[in-house]
Copies of this chain bind each other. A is one copy, B any other.
Amino acid sequence: MSELHPSLARDTMVLGQTPLSRVRWMNDRRFPWLMLIPKHADAVEWHHLPTAEQHQLLDEMAVLARALECAASPDKINVGALGNRVPQLHLHVIGRHEHDPCWPGPVWGQGEVEPYNPGEEPPWLHALCAALPNDFLEPDHD
């Protein structure tokens, strides 16, 4: 497994892992925001992954997006692979609400992050986990 980029380690919290990816949530109470980070060493661009892994990452996005829809009732899901600041490949899956502070603009790099308190979890996290398929996540002790 490749090392997690220090920015991702700092800004996100562990949810679990799949055979392909680390699954983490963004420590920002403004948005229900998940991230998939393929464990593949050196992956930077989505389309540079082997095709089967490109599809697998998309399937994982779809699973998370459906669970976010159940757990956080977003008005829109935003999916993005940018990587301008952090080269390690990571796919954002973000629930957007028409009342959120960045609507209708993008969230990346906009405004001030509002982290949760230490030990606090997002209010939607329990419902998200309940909405995920039973076998989707394994623990990630990394």
Chain A positions near chain B (C-beta within 8 angstroms): 44-47, 51, 54-55, 58-59, 61-62, 65-66, 76-85, 87, 96, 103-106, 108-109
Contact = CB atoms under 8 A, between A and B. Distances in A.
Copies of this chain assembled into the complex: 2
A105 B108 contact: yes
B108 A106 contact: yes
Nearest to A77: B45
Nearest to A94: B82
B82 A62 contact: no
Contacts of A51: 59, 62
Contact of A76 (B62, B83, B103): B83
Nearest to A47: B62
Nearest to A63: B47
A76 B45 CA distance: 8
